[in-house]
Amino acid sequence: MRSLAFALAIFLTCAASVVADPVTYRFSGTVSEIVLDPSTGLTGSVGEPFSAVLTFPTVPLDTDPSRNFGDFSLDDTEFLITLGPRHFNGVGRGFAQVNLGRMEDEQHFVSFGVTVPGRFTDESGHNAAVIVLLDFGPGDFLSSDALPTAADLNRSPRGALFLQPDTALSPLFAGTIDKVSDGPVGPTPEPGSVFLVGTVLVGAGAHRRRCRRMGRRPQP
């Protein structure tokens, strides 16, 4: 019984640490479009290299029960893009979506989005949010609807990053993503999986206790 309780404690601790660990994606690429706007503070030209970092404090859990679609809420997400000596950064709420399609021949897509409030001043002098979008796909590059690893994203035939005010249709910045690093080490367990394994361990312990009370040796 002690060994079972110890194993259960280790499992729950590991599951909790997986959810609590921060996730950081690092991107590098080249500029494909840029508008010299003081809201971003970025200066540069098409073809120059850039780097970007996306960090959220905990590994999010997939809230969509489908095996073809992953939907993750990203709270307190930090974003940083560096272009030459200049950078644009902010903290906001965001999302991650993983789409494997509904049929075998459909293409895979991954999208990250973060809304950074109050970083853009429109023509009327009102402060508006800047929306950060990162898109990967279409292609056949995912094995599951879990939060993608860097290896998953590097298999995508296309990656792009956009900075766009929520009051405008055209982006202030667009870039082609050439490489992704870091990110989660592996697939994130869903809440149902954690609960199921925990239930099995607890049930096994109860079975062993019943067997001991009845004088029988529990079967493995």
pLDDT tens for 2-51 read 554 444 444 444 444 444 689 999 999 999 999 877 777 888 999 999 99
User: Residue 123 gets which letter from DSSP?
Assistant: T
Per-residue confidence band for 109, with pLDDT thresholds at 50, 70 and 90? very high
User: Residue 124 gets which letter from DSSP?
Assistant: T
Whether the model clears a pTM of 0.85, i.e. scores above it, the answer is no
Axis crossing angle, helix 2-20 with helix 191-213, rounded to the nearest 10:
170
Identify which of 144, 152, 154, 133 has the alpha carbon closest to the alpha carbon of residue 188.
Answer: 144
Helix H or strand E encompassing 98: strand 86-99
CB of 130 within 8 A of CB of 90? yes
Give the tens place of pLDDT for each residue, 190-214.
544 444 444 444 444 544 555 555 5
Summarize the confidence of residues 89-101 as an average pLDDT.
93
What is the structure's pLDDT at 185?
Answer: 79
Both tokens of residue 197? 């394994």
Residue 1 has pLDDT above 60, yes or no: no
Q: What is the DSSP string of 125-154?
A: S-EEEEEEEEEEEEES--SSSSPPPHHHHH
Please, what is the average pLDDT of the chain?
80
Residue recorded with tokens 């879990």: 146
Is it true that the peptide bond before 138 is cis, omega within 30 degrees of 0? yes
CB of 183 within 8 A of CB of 108? no
Rounded distance between C-alpha atoms, residue 118 and residue 63, angstroms: 29
Both tokens of residue 157? 């035939």
Give the tens place of pLDDT for each residue, 123-156.
666 778 889 999 999 999 999 999 999 999 999 9
Rounded distance between C-alpha atoms, residue 183 and residue 189, angstroms: 15
Summarize the confidence of residues 49-74 as an average pLDDT.
94
